[in-house]
Amino acid sequence: MSGSPTPPRQVLRHVRPSDLKALAQLVAQATHGVIDITEGVHQAVHGRLGLPGAASGQRTGGLTGRIYQAVRGVTRLVGAGTDAVLTALLPLLDDPATHPEASPQREAILAALNGVLGDALQAMGNPLAMAMDARVGGVPLALTANALKVQVPDARAHLLLLVHGLCMNDAQWQRAGHDHGLHLAQALGATPVYLRYNTGLHTSVNGRELAVLLDQLAAAWPVPLERISIIGHSMGGLVARSALEVARQAGMDWPGSLRDLVFLGTPHHGAPLERAGHGADLLLASNPFTAPFSRLGKIRSAGITDLRHGHVLDADWQGRDRFESGADHRVPLPLPEGVSCFAVGATLAARRSRLAERLTGDGLVPLDSALGRHDEPTRCLAFPPEHQLTVFRTGHLDLLSSRAVAQQMLQWLRPA
């Protein structure tokens, strides 16, 4: 039998004052969305039956249309009235001045929320939208030389950057008592730096921001940088590839120090779950009565839809409706020259099985996608056989705690 539920006051201690208004904004947006869907179904029925009072698009006309407008007006009034309730709750909330470090539970929820709705949160200026920053020990780094000397007093000439995946954050590299960053940094004499970012944005948008951040970080690093190694888990690998391409096109300096790119379960050629989500969108949209509900599927973020085929560049998605076409429009981008690239793929199967590798992989990413293999030669990523590792009976998140993966990465990254 489970223990008693967590008291409401303890739950509220994971909530910051700014969270309440941000959540109220989300609730108001969701309520308007439900009203829109309801009116859309109403309009579809009107149009199908040839009843009077229909208007253009999915808005009803006449008295019915005025009723829906009134309901929206009431929703706005209710939203305005939440201020008094929020004010009453403020004494129960966590005070950032007293507890500057947010709880891991809150941070994990924020990371998941940003993964699903991060682009919408940023577009509406919602305070829950996460900003990109580089962290050491969970503390954001100020990207100036004087500040970094204080924040990273034992900085090494080898910078190890870890880039997390979708719906995750920098703290989640710690899994089952293991952290690849700390483990490798100690063995290699490197300084681990962890990226935190809004995974709901397009991967290429995050790639541009990472390219600039790394340029500033490398320029202000307390000691001359001799080597940069990047480890990307899942989506993090796509963001790293994007950042490197942006930096090289812009003539930034930090790519000259980049020696290694390690991809852990990165969907270089996409993930089938997102392709299934796109199929559900098309199925709903094909029927006039279910078409309004297709909006529910379109809530998912740009970051998620980028995983359909593994988008890396702006050209992979710009100028297209990301919910319209399921075709692969990517511009082929080979692995970067002059950088040692390594790929780790996992499969839930106990032994090598072509069917399991293609259909299940690690539960989220097929093995072919993780290892860069593709039926079209122009899209294949040329990882040398000795730069590939396949681990069995391992799930997507288990890659973060796998000792076999840690040992192989150490062999790859250890200086000759």
- The predicted-structure confidence for 295-351, as pLDDT tens digits, reads as follows 555 677 899 999 999 999 999 999 888 777 778 889 999 999 999 999 999 999 887
Given a contact cutoff of 8 angstroms between Cβ atoms, the answer to whether 375 and 149 are in contact is no
Which long-range contacts link 123-127 to residues 24+ away (Cβ below 8 Å)? Answer: 124/25, 124/29, 126/22, 126/25, 126/26, 127/18, 127/19, 127/21, 127/22
The whole-number pLDDT of residue 212 equals: 98
At 388 the three-state DSSP class reads strand
Given a contact cutoff of 8 angstroms between Cβ atoms, the answer to whether 79 and 30 are in contact is no
Return the axis-axis angle of helices 82-89 and 17-49, rounded to nearest 10°: 150
The whole-number pLDDT of residue 371 equals: 96
User: Please, where are the H alpha helices in 198-293?
Assistant: 203-220, 235-250, 272-285
Q: What share of the chain has pLDDT > 90, as a percent?
A: 54
Mean pLDDT across the stretch 23-39? Answer: 51
Given a contact cutoff of 8 angstroms between Cβ atoms, the answer to whether 353 and 341 are in contact is no
- 162-207 per-position pLDDT tens digit: 999 999 999 999 999 999 999 999 999 999 999 999 999 999 999 9
Mean pLDDT across the stretch 223-249? Answer: 98
Terminal CA-CA length for the chain:
55
The whole-number pLDDT of residue 370 equals: 96
Mean pLDDT across the stretch 206-212? Answer: 98
Grade residue 352 by pLDDT with cuts at 50, 70 and 90: confident
- Chain-wide mean pLDDT for the chain? 79
Grade residue 44 by pLDDT with cuts at 50, 70 and 90: very low
313: Cβ contacts below 8 Å, ≥ 6 apart: 204, 242, 245, 330, 331, 333
Grade residue 108 by pLDDT with cuts at 50, 70 and 90: confident
Question: Of 38-47, 124-133, 256-265, 390-399, where does mean pLDDT reach its minimum?
Answer: 38-47
At 134 the three-state DSSP class reads strand
Q: What is d(CA 308, CA 330) in angstroms, rounded to the nearest whole number?
A: 11
CATH 3.40.50.1820 intervals, the chain: 101-416
**Count of Cβ atoms closer than 10 Å to residue 293 Cβ:** 14
Most confident of 119-128, 274-283, 327-336: 327-336
211: Cβ contacts below 8 Å, ≥ 6 apart: 242, 243, 244, 246, 247, 250, 252
The whole-number pLDDT of residue 307 equals: 92
Given a contact cutoff of 8 angstroms between Cβ atoms, the answer to whether 163 and 232 are in contact is yes
238/105: higher pLDDT: 238
- According to DSSP, residue 336 is labeled P
Residue 251 region by backbone torsions, left for phi larger than 0, else alpha for psi between -120 and 50, else beta: left
Report the residue count for the chain.
Answer: 416
Residue 228 region by backbone torsions, left for phi larger than 0, else alpha for psi between -120 and 50, else beta: beta
Pull the structure tokens for residue 217. 């970080």
Pull the structure tokens for residue 387. 């730069």
Residue 107 pLDDT greater than 90, yes or no: no
Tell me yes or no: is domain 101-416 CATH 3.40.50.1820: yes
179 DSSP β-pair partners: 174
Q: What is d(CA 393, CA 88) in angstroms, rounded to the nearest whole number?
A: 51
